[in-house]
Amino acid sequence: MRDETAFAAQLEPHRRELQIHCYRMLGSLDEAEDLVQETFLRAWRKRASYEGRATVRAWLYKIATNACLDLLARNKRRVAPSGAGANPSEVPWLEPVPDRLLDEVASTDDDPAAVVVAKETIELAYLVAIQHLPPRQRAALILRDVLGWSAKETAELLETSVASANSALQRARSGLAENLPEQRAGGDPSEHEQALLRGFMDAHERADATGIAHMLREDVRVTMPPLPNVYTGIDELRPLWEHAFDPSAFGDWRLVATRVNRQPAAASYLRRTGDSVFRAFKLDVLRIEGDVIAEITTFGAQPFAGLGLAPTL
């Protein structure tokens, strides 16, 4: 593997799955992209030490995981518990990932249950929950429960004993259970889910706060990372709607359906009074439980470009 072009060609097929792996570890898509580049650079520098006993894929995962652990050790960032249960406001670096990127990571597992697990482990609630775990516990959990590695393989990657790797996994599972909502996303979007998204978008465009309220769980939670704000319950949201739907304060809204983290989302465009175009404004990601919206995570307009959405309408 002395030729750099040939070496890069051998690594490139693994780029997207490594990016998603780093994204799970870090919660930030931008950082994940940087870490994949760092992984490839480290692999090039270490190419002489690759002996072929493990697959190139496993070798890259080891390098990528260690690169993530190194970054987390340097940054020493911590979630800031809000007292409102694990929520996106506690993870200011959280970013959504477009479903189109997830679709590029082709599943090689014919077990339908394994596909559902993959979707459950990319939703925002999962990303938030694992950010509460210490980095090595997080790595053990992802390697074992997401990637399906054995205890021996995980221990070798983390350069620890099988007993220590299993202990880290058990502690991680316990911590994860404390921070996950009872109901989880999974599977393909249902017709009801799509209808609920369409109804949410239609009510938003019509400035119909009552219509939106009928689609929400009574104790719905709304967060706006990186802001620390947490709004719980319909009564707390009414002042927000009154302000957002006031033409003199904002203007007219147009919404476009999309999906991130295997969840329905609505990209909002705002045409302010006096303006002639609708401009990218925010992204609402919905977590649906049963027949209602249980949580809305609102991001700014930054994700629009990655979603392939125009800056104006």
Q: Are residues 292 and 263 in the same domain?
A: yes
Q: Which residues constitute the domain of residue 53?
A: 4-179
> Which of 150, 179, 208 is a domain's end point?
179
Number of domains making up the chain: 2
Q: Does 215 reside within a domain?
A: yes
Q: 3-class secondary structure for the chain? A: CCCHHHHHHHHHHHHHHHHHHHHHHHCCHHHHHHHHHHHHHHHHHCHHHCCCCCCHHHHHHHHHHHHHHHHHHHHCCCCCCCCCCCCHHHCCCCCCCEHHHHHCCCCCCCCHHHHHHHHHCCCHHHHHHHHCCCHHHHHHHHHHHHCCCCHHHHHHHHCCCHHHHHHHHHHHHHHHHHHCCCCCCCCCCCHHHHHHHHHHHHHHHCCCHHHHHCCEEEEEEEECCCCCCEEECHHHHHHHHHHHCCCCCCEEEEEEEEEECCEEEEEEEEEECCCCCCEEEEEEEEEEECCEEEEEEEECCHHHCCCCCCCEC
Q: Does 92 reside within a domain?
A: yes
The whole-number pLDDT of residue 106 equals 57
Question: pLDDT tens digits for 131-158?
Answer: 999 999 999 999 999 999 999 999 999 9
Residue 226: give its domain's CATH number: 3.10.450.50
Q: Which of 225, 274, 222, 282 is nearest to 256 (CA)?
A: 282
Q: How much is the pTM?
A: 0.92
Q: Which of 51, 55, 58 is nearest to 21 (CA)?
A: 58
The whole-number pLDDT of residue 290 equals 86
Q: Are residues 165 and 209 in the same domain?
A: no
Chunked in runs of 10, what are the mean pLDDT values of the chain (313 residues)? Answer: 76 92 96 96 86 82 96 86 78 95 72 70 94 96 94 95 97 93 64 93 96 96 94 95 90 96 96 94 95 96 96 96
